[in-house]
Amino acid sequence: MPQIDVSTFTSQIFWLIVTFSVLYYLLSRKALPRVLEVLEARQDRIAADLDQAQRLRREAEQALEQYQAAMARAHDEAHQLLAETQARLQAEAAERHAELGGRLARQLSEAEARIAEARQTGLRELEDATTSVVQVAVQRLAGIKVTKKAAQAALEETRRRAA
């Protein structure tokens, strides 16, 4: 094995140092700076992404606060509109109730007037019929012909005594 041969140790050590130096030079001047650049770019990208994420989070929190404020305003407006509508509807209902009450009172008074008129008409007709019956009954029973005026006076006297 040539590695174990002592006579080649110096040349092996020389080439080891040359190879190691060239490799060190290539790595330190070419490969490592590129790796460092990639790592720095990656670190910068990560930092930028974190900053953007924080900015977006703040914006989202602000948007949430604005949304909640808008919802609160909308709820307040809805409650106010509901209260106004309810008050308006109650006022309309009270107005309609009063109007209906007035209309019913008028109809009731008109109906009472018609009933009173019908009662008076019925009483007059009953009085006329009773007068006729009294005239016919007196003529048949007593054979006396009684005038309508006399029959009405007799009925009036009978009514006064009964009351």
48: helix, strand or coil: helix
- For residues 45 and 133, the model is more confident at 45
State if pTM tops 0.85. no
Asked whether 135 and 148 are in contact (CB, 8 A), the reply is yes
Find where tokens 């008050």 sit.
Answer: 87
Q: Which of 110, 123, 115 is nearest to 159 (CA)?
A: 123
Section 10-30 average pLDDT: 91
| Predicted local distance difference test score (pLDDT) of residue 76 | 95
CA-based max dimension of the chain: 189
Q: Is there a contact between 117 and 129 (Cβ–Cβ < 8 Å)?
A: no
Phi, psi of 85 (to 5 degrees): -65, -40
Distance in angstroms (rounded) separating the CA atoms of residues 56 and 74 = 26
Per-residue DSSP letter, 30: I
Q: What is the per-residue pLDDT across 104-157, written as a single tens digit (0 to 9) for each?
A: 999 999 999 999 999 999 988 888 888 888 888 888 888 888 888 888 888 888
